Each structure stands twice: as C-alpha cells, then as structure tokens.
Amino acid sequence: MVLKLAYWMYEGTALSGIARVTGSMKKIHTVIHGPQGDSYINVMFSMLERFHELPPFTLSAIGRREMAKGSRARLVETVLRVDEEQKPDVIVITPTCSSTLLQEDLDAVAHTLQARTNATLIVPKVNAFRDLEHYAMDQFLTQMVATFAEEQSKSERFSVNIIGPSYLGFHQIHDLEEIKKTLQDLGIEINLVVPYGASVEALRNITKAHLNISLYQEYGKSVCDYLKERFGMDYLSITPLGIRQTGRFLEEIGEKAGIDVHAYIRRNLSPASLISRCVNSVDALSSLYGKRAVVFGDYSHAVGVTYLLREIGIQVEWAGTYMKAMESSFKQELQGQAKEVFVCDDFQKISNKIKETQPDIVFGTQMERHSSARHDFPCVVISSPAHILNFPLHASPILGYSGITRILDNINGTIKLGLEEHLVNMFGEDSQEEEVQIAIAEVAASTEKKELSAGASEEIKWTPDALNTLKQIPFFVRGKVQRNTETYAREKGHKEITLEVIYAAKAHFEK
C-alpha cells in the first residue's frame, strides 16, 4: 500500500458507479456489503436526485461483531430479507473499498444463496478497491446486459437503444429528454434506454433495436462492443455536444436509419435559428470572439465543450480531463483544438494552472468553480463532480441543439458583456471589478458630480469637448478613464486635456 494526498476526488468510487447503474434501473435492489458509512450512497440519491422513494440500497453492515465472527451471517440475513420484502428481480451484492480488503468470496455466498431467493443474485465483477466510478459502470453495465440479453427479432421500424443516461450523472436525465425529442422529430423509435428506467425484462429485449447509441465516452462502449460481438448489433459512440459533433451524430444516425437529417440540422442552424442569431450577433463579436477560455472536466464534456467553444469563436488555452485512463485518446481527439491538452486529477494543480493562465472564462467542474471564485474568474460548470445546483428542475441538457443554447446562455450570464468589458479593458487596469460592483444608483448620482468637478478644477483642465466625451463614457468606468487620461497627460506634460489627448491616452492604454 502507498499513501497519496488528496483533497478532492474527481471520480467517484466503484461502489458509486455500480450504484448509479442499479439505482437507475427498475426492480433492482443493491445490498452494500461494507461498514456503516458506506451507506452514504442512499444520501446521494435521496439528496441530489431528491428521491421520493426509499433509495434501493440496503447496507449489510460490517461492525465489530462481523469482524470477529465473520460477516457471512449478516449478509445472508440481509439478502434474504431484501428478497422477501422488496421482491426485486435482481439483488446486486456489492463490496466496497474496505470490504474488498477482507478478501471474502461474495460469489460463493451468492452462489449458495441463489437457491433460496426469488431474485437473481449478481456480484459485480469489479475490484471495488481499485476501480473507479466510470470503469466500474462500464464493466458492470456490460455484465448486466450480458446476463439478461437474449436474441430477439428486430423491431419493425428502425429503433435504437440509448446507452448512458443514469442518475447522478451530469445533467444526463436532461440530456436524455433532449435526445428523445430529437429522435422523435426524426421519426426514430427508441427501443430501450440503459440503465435509466430499464428493467430486467427490458434488457431481455435489448436486441430488438437496430442500433446502439452510446452517449458518453467514459462508459457504455463495452456494452456496445459486447452486443456487437454477441448479437451483431451495430453501434455509434458519439457525444453530441457542440455544433459539429451534434451534426455528425445526426448524420450517422440518419445514414444508418436511411433518413435524411439535413433538413433538421439546417433548421437548427439556419440564420433564423436562435443559435445562429446568437453566435453571429454583433454582440457575440465582442463578448465571445477571441476570448481566452480554459476547459477541464470528464472526457465527454471536456472534449465536447472544447469543440463548441472553438465553433463559437472562443480560444481554448488548454483543455484537460481527470479521466486518466483515457489519456491517449483525449490527446489525440483534441490535438490542435487547444494550445495545450493534458490529463491530471490533482485539483490543486488545476487551480494553480487557472491562476497562471488568467483566462477570461473557465469551464470546469464544481471544483474549478471554487478555484475560479477564489481567483475571481467567471466559471461555467460543465462536468461532474456536481453539486445540488447541477440537478436543476427546468430542462437543462448539455447535449444536442438545446444543449448548445443552454451553454450559450450560461456563457452570456457569466462572462462580462461586450461593451462593458471593452471599455474596462481599454482604459482600466487589473482591478476593474470594484467600479462595476459599487451600488449603481449611488454611484451614478455622485460620481458624475464629484469626479467631473474635481477633474475640471485640478491642475489639469479638460476642454469642453473632452469633458463631453468623458461624460459619454458609462459611469462605471468613467472614473478610471479620467484618472488614466490625467496620468497620461501629466506624464506627457500636457496642461490641458483635449480630444487629442484623450485619443492618445486611449491608444497608449490599448496597446
């Protein structure tokens, strides 16, 4: 064993990954074989997803007695009771980090117990100590599908399975609604969503679909590979985030389904569409174009958002992911899209990097939101780890065209607006914030009088023309402009500030 200092975990545990799969499905109950605190999974479901039902997890606690006398008796009792009381189709018996260290043979327990339960007993084939959330999800989803999938005849109309959406994912349930709507608009049927809302019965029919669509890159692809190999099912693994990726996603589906999707794409991107009107607006020229952003998150969102930012004219200084296992494909995917592409799971390093880069806007996880707040950078949260704020009530997809509009809204709500920022940058130095933050009404009334008269009465005089120009500058940067111009004038030995001096000062500070 070695020890590693961590203040923060970007990825959850294997236990939480398994729980995301089982907890998203129907009529599956999970028995967690671990110590007291490992029942925190219940709290995640109950609090973050605001569960109105008891989360389907029961702890088989390992306490002092179990440590001394063995935990088997407690486990057997718990499983039998869950079977009797909850009557689930499947009981998943999962170890946790700590109980893995006990090196018990849960498979053997499940094997002997199976004769006594109505539910099918499944022990995830993961190493709960070593594996992380997404890898565990990928493996366990495949295990579940492999356990229940049966050969079926294809549905009459072209249909797809959507693989990925689950509870506790980043806006995934919202994504699902968006994808459903899109497919419906295109006239494509959905056979099954996995794991969200899937029952064992539904898993048996997974092979009825013509195509599997894996929405996220962190997990789900193994299921597709399995279904391809075992049942010859075709699949598609694209995260439709951003303009190009969404287009590609639609085109490939269209191609497989024999449907022309171009009209649909055009409708969403035509000059009349909201996306296009926003991106092409003159406002976006100043508020978005050329802005320096940094991106950090899981794989799917870091990649997708980087693409999207490039597509709307934002410069990506660097893009990083904490998905260490996906390093090479991440680098390959984003090569040339950002000045620097890297993998890192140390949040303090990311925090320092943000500070060094001094970006105009940060796209990251809740952790980067914290780091950004500390260094006073605007931040849009685009990836797990999430917070209750990332479980919004209103439709908030990240994927598809609605996802783009939502991200654009978020950027607009976060970044400094075009004109305002222009002026601040032109004349201000680094501490522009104060001016903006001062209570508007108060400042509007007093600044004008005080500063203009002061400015006019001190050694440096403003000509009427120059004063007029000064008045036209929004109040919240006026003080700064005045001071900078006067400093400049003094340096240059001007006794009077004329329009020429203002313009020269502007040129001076702008360069």
Catalytic sites, residue numbers: 283
Site for other proteins in 78-107 (CB under 8 A): 81, 85, 96-98, 101-102
Could you tell me the smallest distance in angstroms from the CB atom of residue 165 to ligand SF4?
A: 28
The DSSP element (H or E) to which 277 belongs, if any, is helix 274-279
Q: How many CB atoms lie within 10 A of CB 329?
A: 13
Indicate whether 11 belongs to the interface with ligand SF4 (CB under 6 A): no
| Part in contact with other proteins (CB under 8 A); list of ranges 51-59, 247-255, 407-415, 472-480 | 51-59
| Interface size with ligand SF4, residues (CB under 6 A) | 5
CA distance 362 to 347: 14
CB 95 within 8 A of CB 128: yes
- Pick from ligand SF4, other proteins, none: which does 469 bind, CB < 5 to 8 A by kind? none
CB 370 within 8 A of CB 36: no
The dihedral sign for the CA sequence 304, 15, 104, 83: negative
Could you tell me the smallest distance in angstroms from the CB atom of residue 41 to other proteins?
A: 9
Q: Which of 18, 19, 38, 497 binds ligand SF4 (CB under 6 A)?
A: 38
- Pick from other proteins, ligand SF4, none: which does 231 bind, CB < 5 to 8 A by kind? none
Output 37 or 392, the one with its CB closest to ligand SF4: 37
Indicate whether 444 belongs to the interface with other proteins (CB under 8 A): no
- Pick from other proteins, ligand SF4, none: which does 441 bind, CB < 5 to 8 A by kind? none
Could you tell me the smallest distance in angstroms from the CB atom of residue 130 to other proteins?
A: 5
Amino acid found at 297: G
Indicate whether 1 belongs to the interface with other proteins (CB under 8 A): yes
Site for other proteins in 119-178 (CB under 8 A): 129-130, 132
DSSP for 11-71? Answer: S-BHHHHHHHHHHHSSSEEEEEEE-GGGGHHHHIIIIIS--SS--SEEEEE--HHHHHH-S
Compose the 338-377 pattern: x for residues touching other proteins by CB under 8 A, - for all others. -------------x--------------xx--xx--x---
Indicate whether 263 belongs to the interface with other proteins (CB under 8 A): no
Indicate whether 43 belongs to the interface with other proteins (CB under 8 A): yes
Could you tell me the smallest distance in angstroms from the CB atom of residue 47 to other proteins?
A: 6
Indicate whether 36 belongs to the interface with ligand SF4 (CB under 6 A): yes
Centroid of chain to Cα 1: 32
CA distance 148 to 226: 13
Output 212 or 372, the one with its CB closest to other proteins: 372
The dihedral sign for the CA sequence 377, 382, 385, 389: positive
Q: How many CB atoms lie within 10 A of CB 255?
A: 12
Question: Shortest CA distance to 333 belongs to which of 313, 305, 354?
Answer: 305
Could you tell me the smallest distance in angstroms from the CB atom of residue 92 to other proteins?
A: 17
Indicate whether 15 belongs to the interface with other proteins (CB under 8 A): yes
Could you tell me the smallest distance in angstroms from the CB atom of residue 16 to ligand SF4?
A: 12
Output 99 or 396, the one with its CB closest to ligand SF4: 99
Q: How many CB atoms lie within 10 A of CB 74?
A: 18
R_g (Cα) of the chain, nearest Å: 29
Could you tell me the smallest distance in angstroms from the CB atom of residue 86 to ligand SF4?
A: 23
The dihedral sign for the CA sequence 71, 77, 83, 85: negative
CA distance 81 to 77: 6
Could you tell me the smallest distance in angstroms from the CB atom of residue 444 to ligand SF4?
A: 54
Indicate whether 240 belongs to the interface with other proteins (CB under 8 A): no
Output 37 or 290, the one with its CB closest to ligand SF4: 37
Site for ligand SF4 in 95-124 (CB under 6 A): 98
Q: How many CB atoms lie within 10 A of CB 277?
A: 12
- Pick from ligand SF4, other proteins, none: which does 47 bind, CB < 5 to 8 A by kind? other proteins
| Part in contact with other proteins (CB under 8 A); list of ranges 49-57, 257-265, 279-287, 309-317 | 49-57
| Interface size with other proteins, residues (CB under 8 A) | 58
| Part in contact with ligand SF4 (CB under 6 A); list of ranges 1-9, 36-44, 71-79, 498-506 | 36-44
Q: Give the CA dihedral 318, 322, 328, 332, nearest 10 degrees.
A: -30
CA distance 248 to 481: 48
CB 28 within 8 A of CB 173: no
Return the SS3 of 163: strand
CA distance 143 to 252: 27
Footprint of other proteins (CB under 8 A)? 1-9, 12-13, 15-16, 34-40, 42-44, 46-48, 50-55, 58-59, 61-64, 67, 81, 85, 96-98, 101-102, 129-130, 132, 351, 366-367, 370-371, 374, 385, 387-388
Footprint of ligand SF4 (CB under 6 A)? 35-38, 98
